[in-house]
Structure formats: C-alpha cells, structure tokens
Amino acid sequence: MTAQSTVADPPVVPILRSSFERGVTRSYAWRVRQLKALKSMLEERSAEIEDALFADLGKNPAESQLTEIGVVAGEIEHTLTHLRRWLRPRRVPVPLALAPASAATMLEPLGVVLVIAPWNYPLQLLLAPVAGALAAGNAVVMKPSELAPATSAVMAELIPLYLDSRAVAVVEGGVEETTALLAQRFDHIFYTGNGTVGRIVMEAAAKHLTPVTLELGGKSPVYVDDTVDLAATARRIAWGKFMNAGQTCVAPDYLLATDAVAEQLVPHLVDAISELYDGDPRTSSSYGRIINDKQFTRLSGLLEGQTVRTGGKRDERTRYFAPTVLDEVPRDAPVMAQEIFGPILPIVRVTGLDDAIAFIRSGEKPLALYAFTSSKEAARRILTETSSGAVGFGVPVAHLTVPGLPFGGVGESGMGSYHGRSSIEIFSHTKSVLSKRLAPDTLKLVYPPFTAKKENFIRGLMRRLR
C-alpha cells in the first residue's frame, strides 16, 4: 500500500505512520537516498519547476534558480556533507557525584511531520523544511499552497516519482483540506505563512500537544545613515525589495532615514530600479507579477494619499505593479500598519539613530532588520537595542542562503528556526541517555535510611555540586 497524493485520502497519515513505526525512515541510508533523490528531481525536472514558478509568479528562471531551486539544492548539499556528524551522539560530562557513569544526547526522529507552505516561494518554503524532516528520519506530509497552483501541481506530480511514497505524501488543497489535515495527529507541524493562520495551526496542534515551528512575517525595517555609499546601498535595497515583486517574507518592508539621507538616496533608488529592470520593469523579463487580484487590490489601496517618488504604475489585467518608492510617509499611514508584501517601499523620515531604534521597538519584532552603516557604534546599538529574527548589515535577504545560520523569527515573526543543523534539531527529539554500571554501587552512599552521618555527607556533596 502506498500513500496517495490526493486531497481527500483519509488514510494518508495512518499509512505514513505505519511506515514510520516499521522503521522505513530510520536508517541513515534511507535518509541519504531521499535527499539525493530530491536533489535529482531539482536537477532533472528544473525546466518544469521553472515553468510552474513562472506561471504562478512570473518568476524569471534565473531568479527561480537563485531563490528557490538553488536554495533547496544548497541545503541538501550542506546536509549531505554534515549529516553523519550531526547524527552522532554527543557526550556530556557527568557530575563527580555520579561517577563512574557516562552521559550523552542522541537525536531521534519524531514521527510524521506536516509541512504547510505559502505561495510566495512555493518551492523553497515547501522543500527546504521537507529536506530537514527527511534528513532527521521522519515521514512527511507536504501541503503546498493552493495560491501557487502550478507549483502545487508539479510537486504533486514529481514527488511520488522521486521520493519513497511509503513515507512521503503531497496533499494538495486549500483551507478545507488543511483543516482536515490539522485535525489529525502529527509529531511536528512546520508552518510558513501569516500570523492569523499561524494561530489556527498552533491551536490545532495544541489538541495533540504537537510541537510547532511557525515561520511568519512582519515589517522588516532597513536603516540607512550617511556613512555609506548611497548608490551601492540603493542597489542592494532595490534588489532585496523588488525581487519576486516584493513578495518576500524577509524583504525590506520600509526604510528609515534622516531628511538629508532620504533626499540623496531616492534618486539612487530610481537609478537602481532602472538598472535592475532594463530601464522598464513592465517589459523586463527580470521583474515578477503580483500573485492574485486580491493582493493586487490590497497593494493598490496602500498607495492612496501617499507621495510617490517613483513607480505607482500598474496594470490590473497582468497584475503588473511597478517598483514603487513612497516618501515622507506618516508613521500612522495604512502602509505602515501592515506587512506590505509587495513592491512598495515607504520611506519614513527619522531624526537619527535614536529615533529609528525607538520606532523599530514600538512595533512587533520583525523577521529581519537591515542596516547600512559603517559606524561600529551604530551597528552595536542596532544589535543590542532591537530584537528581530535576524540582522543583515549591508545586505538584505541573503542571510537565509547561509545554511549554517538558523533561519526563523521571534515574537510575532515566528517561533523556532531551521536550515542546516537547526533543521535536524527541530525535526528530532534530543534524547538524553545516562549509563551507570551496577558495580561499584557508589549510590549506596545516598540511599535511605538517612543517618546523621549520611545527612552530613549529602549536605557536603550538594554544596560541592552547586
């Protein structure tokens, strides 16, 4: 019997659980086979995957390689290189009072993992966690986003051809199907998406005491001061902001700068946009499109009453939305009250670093925070006086491509992090193991009955342990 990749197939989870219980997923060899097969799928079927990403998001194939296929392939490579070492038990020192004994931790797979992915990087955000879950020896149900239907369909078609269907299944669908999945018992749920659904996921998980990882979003600020090359800064910001037409969880959401910096920076941003998108983003094959009409309408509404310094043009039919820079945006404007998740960069004028830090701290903790400064003191203050999932100095977005850096949010931007070794840890239980020989029985010194002599000995012992 194999797990089917259909929506209404109630036995999917029990089939996977039975495979897990039978030990199908446990061996190192099985894990490596799955990871290699996943990588082969990315290599052999990259044309179909790129087509699907283009159909869903107008993604240029080069961008798909850079931000979707390549990120997952890099994760898999890194994991294959280090997995054996990561899985080795780690020895832990034993307190003298317990000697002779040995202690160690070992990672054990959790069981059946559910991975729920969003639409904006529909391949990367599905497969990067899946690679971690498989490497950790779990069975996996993957639920791609229904809002990226072409990518969802290509995953449902390809995954059963490459991965072991006894232990890996794709369930396509939307709210109804996800709700049905969430009613079942999993051993870990990994969700990427918005905080409202994050809360639904956590509530469903609580019923079964299932641990969750929530990869959420938020408003990631970018701070620029007058100590840096503003032309180079503008290029980096425009690249990170307008990639995937701004639909990136770690995109710079808004920019904080003083009047003097903002005045100089805006013309550089205009030049950078022109440079990146062949002089005209509308006709450039390097620029993406908005995922659907709902998002397009929401983003259009955010421009109302704002000062547009560049962009603002859009086409409802093709869902083209020009890279847009808004300036002198009031701190209470609607565009500052929600995660933008589109190609609009509002500039909020600040009086300096103190004001910028106070403003960042007045909001929820962001997924990422970026700063362009060559002042060591400014960098130190940003690191120590603000809280965010990650910090990028001099470059936005790219931290998530470093497999050794845990990727995740804090507070409203999420809980738990993954990538590289962190992925293995979140999808495993760290089991503590203590072994002590029966002879000599040193413990008899602390066994009852408690005589006065023993009490003195125990008091001395406990003082030494403190």
Return residues touching ligand NAD (CB under 6 A): 116-120, 125, 143, 145-147, 174-175, 178-179, 192-194, 197, 200, 215-217, 249, 339, 341, 367, 409, 414
Tokens found for residue 210: 């299932």
Minimum Å gap between C-beta 77 and ligand NAD is 20
The CA R_g of the chain, rounded to the nearest whole Å, is 26
For ligand NAD, give the closer residue by CB, 141 or 350: 141
Give residue number: closest CB to ligand NAD.
217
Catalytic residue among 215, 339, 364, 412: 215
Minimum Å gap between C-beta 256 and ligand NAD is 19
Catalytic residue among 249, 339, 412, 425: 249
Minimum Å gap between C-beta 434 and ligand NAD is 37
Tokens found for residue 86: 């990561």
- By C-alpha distance, which of 69, 84, 67, 81 is closest to 38? 69
Strand partners of residue 140: 113, 168
Tokens found for residue 459: 């008091």
Contact 131, 423 (CB under 8 A): yes
Query: DSSP characters for 104-148?
Result: EEEEEE-SEEEEE--SSSTTHHHHHHHHHHHHTT-EEEEE--TTS
Minimum Å gap between C-beta 171 and ligand NAD is 10
For ligand NAD, give the closer residue by CB, 229 or 293: 293
Minimum Å gap between C-beta 74 and ligand NAD is 16
**Catalytic-residue membership of 215:** yes
* The pairing of beta strand 417-418 with beta strand 407-408: antiparallel
Q: In what side-by-side order are the strands of the sheet with 102-109?
A: 90-92, 102-109, 428-435
Minimum Å gap between C-beta 404 and ligand NAD is 17
- By C-alpha distance, which of 79, 176, 77, 202 is closest to 134? 79
Reported as type and span, the H/E element at residue 168 is strand 168-170
Does residue 450 sit in helix, strand or coil?
coil
For ligand NAD, give the closer residue by CB, 107 or 125: 125
For ligand NAD, give the closer residue by CB, 121 or 223: 121
Give the separation between CA 43 and CA 55, rounded to whole angstroms. Answer: 19
For ligand NAD, give the closer residue by CB, 34 or 178: 178
Does residue 360 sit in helix, strand or coil?
helix
Contact 245, 343 (CB under 8 A): yes
Name the one residue in this structure whose structure tokens are 């089917």.
4
For ligand NAD, give the closer residue by CB, 125 or 131: 125
Residues acting as catalytic residues: 215, 249
